Amino acid sequence: MIDVRGGAAAEAGPRLLTGSPIAAEIRAGLTEDFARFKERWGHSPTLAVVLVGADAPSAVYLQQILRTCQKVGVEGRLVEIGSDVTPDALCTEIERLNADPSVAGIIVQMPLPAHIPLRAVIDSIDPAKDIDGIHPRNAGLLSLGYDGFLPATAQASVEILKRSGIEIAGKRVVVVGRSNVVGKPAALLLIREHGTVTVLHSKTRDLGHHTRDAEILIVAAGRPGLVTGDMLSPGVVVVDVGINVVPDGEGAEKLVGDVDFESAKGVVSAITPVPGGVGPLTNALLLSHLFRAATDQAERAARRTATGVRP
């Protein structure tokens, strides 16, 4: 377990649940894993990250993933596609990546342009390369508690609590957001950890009434500053999953979360900062999924070769 408190932060305010120390520990192991993979199989696996359009938070997130690839010694391939792409053309590009033996993992960054049906994209990804757990097969395995690829951001939001020594079992846990990539899978993972879970969303009446009941609050709504300090109970632990680009008041831009940090910091006992909280851990977990996917694919290919079975 890693103590993620900084000395000054612990004395002057809430405990900051930073993801970087945990991510660094995971990356150190992955660097060795990928080096052994290359030695055994003669190549390094590739992670393909697909960005449709120019959504600012998505671009920031994907650049972080590509930098993390470099740190552990794998290739990160950014596939940029214009926002005017047709659904069929996007699916064709994903299928091309499915068929590329050098690509072990594929991420299609959300949100997609409004004219692209999410289901068509999700269904196009090979489940064996779906390292962010959005394909129906992996989503079904998650809902049943079986072993599939987990949505990495949802996994990171729970893992940062566990690795910081915060007990989930028996706690009143509130999740704000019901997306298929964060809110829903986070709720399922929290239930696995025996939390008593409530999911809030855009149709929830009196959001603050429910958030004030939380002992642990995970916010993944994609709305900057949605949750403020007066919506929190004293001593709550907050995991802020939001990554939002907003003006900084001086002609530039800054990253903020879905929780108003300034009003929350005097109420909470622990909180993830934005940036620097869930994001670094998400990237490290994605690459652990990539290693698993690459290993599974290499071993299957070796078995086919040994038995004379054509792909």
Q: Using CA atoms, how far apart are residues 83 and 212, in angstroms rounded to an integer?
A: 40
DSSP string, 68-132: HHHHHT-EEEEEEE-TT--HHHHHHHHHHHHH-TTEEEEEEPSPPPTTS-HHHHHHHS-TTT-TT
Mean pLDDT, the chain, whole residue set: 92
Average pLDDT over residues 7-33: 85
Strands 103-108 and 172-176: unpaired
Tokens (6 digits) for 302: 């070796």
List pLDDT tens digits, range 260-286.
999 999 999 999 999 999 999 999 999
Tokens (6 digits) for 280: 């670094």
End-to-end CA distance of the chain: 42
User: Which pLDDT score, from 0 to 100, does residue 7 have?
Assistant: 40
Q: State how far Cα 308 lies from the chain centre.
A: 39
Q: Using CA atoms, how far apart are residues 26 and 110, in angstroms rounded to an integer?
A: 25
Give the percent of the chain with pLDDT over 90. Answer: 78
User: Which pLDDT score, from 0 to 100, does residue 265 have?
Assistant: 96
Task: Single out the residue of 174, 167, 221 nearest to residue 194, CA to CA.
Answer: 167
CA torsion sign for 183, 184, 190, 194 is positive
Q: Using CA atoms, how far apart are residues 82 and 117, in angstroms rounded to an integer?
A: 16
* Higher per-residue confidence, 93 vs 119: 93
User: Which pLDDT score, from 0 to 100, does residue 119 have?
Assistant: 87
List pLDDT tens digits, range 153-207.
999 999 999 999 999 999 999 999 999 999 999 999 999 999 999 999 999 999 9
User: Which pLDDT score, from 0 to 100, does residue 307 have?
Assistant: 81
* Long-range contact set of residues 108-112: C-beta below 8 Å, sequence gap at least 24: 108/50, 108/52, 108/134, 109/49, 109/50, 109/51, 109/52, 109/55, 109/58, 109/61, 109/62, 110/58, 110/179, 110/181, 111/55, 111/58, 112/52, 112/53
User: Which pLDDT score, from 0 to 100, does residue 61 have?
Assistant: 75
Task: Tell me: pLDDT of 122 over 70.
Answer: yes
Task: Tell me: pLDDT of 6 over 50.
Answer: no
Q: Using CA atoms, how far apart are residues 272 and 222, in angstroms rounded to an integer?
A: 15
Average pLDDT over residues 128-155: 96
User: Which pLDDT score, from 0 to 100, does residue 11 have?
Assistant: 52
Q: Using CA atoms, how far apart are residues 224 and 237, in angstroms rounded to an integer?
A: 19
Tokens (6 digits) for 1: 């377990």
Scanning the structure block, which residue is given the tokens 């950890």?
193
pLDDT bucket at 3, cuts 50 / 70 / 90: very low
Per DSSP, 151 falls in state P
Q: Which domains does the chain have, with CATH numbers?
A: 44-126 (3.40.50.10860), 151-280 (3.40.50.720)
